[in-house]
Amino acid sequence: MGPTRSRIDHAIIGNIMYRIKYENLLTSVNALISEGHYLQCDKCDFKTAWKRSMKRHQEEKHADNSEGPSLHCDQCGLLFLYKRQLTHHKR
């Protein structure tokens, strides 16, 4: 037996509310950036409102990874450049 009508309606409403919140967040971030309240990468034209995003950007785009991947999964042996990639993989 499939989901009830009220469950489907609830899921649709939840999805709409999520989209509205996400769009409002994007609007707020874009407003902050346009007003000059942002972090600017010192090596390129990347801008963000969050320190975490800047750190990730600099690690991925500007880090010296000339030695190649150095983190490996102890379960399957795959190699990764960044710890967060390995962590995500293990989930």
Distance between CA atoms of 62 and 82, rounded to whole angstroms? 13
- Condensed to tens digits (0 to 9), the pLDDT of residues 40-69 reads 899 899 888 788 888 888 887 887 766 666
Does residue 79 sit in helix, strand or coil? Answer: strand
Q: Say if residues 85 and 77 touch (Cβ distance below 8 Å).
A: no
Q: Say if residues 83 and 69 touch (Cβ distance below 8 Å).
A: no
- Condensed to tens digits (0 to 9), the pLDDT of residues 71-86 reads 889 999 888 877 788 8
**Is residue 6 situated within a structural domain?**
yes
Confidence (pLDDT) at 5: 65
* Count: domains in the chain: 1
**Is residue 7 situated within a structural domain?**
yes
**Is residue 9 situated within a structural domain?**
yes
Confidence (pLDDT) at 4: 63
What is the pTM assigned to this prediction? 0.43
**Is residue 88 situated within a structural domain?**
no
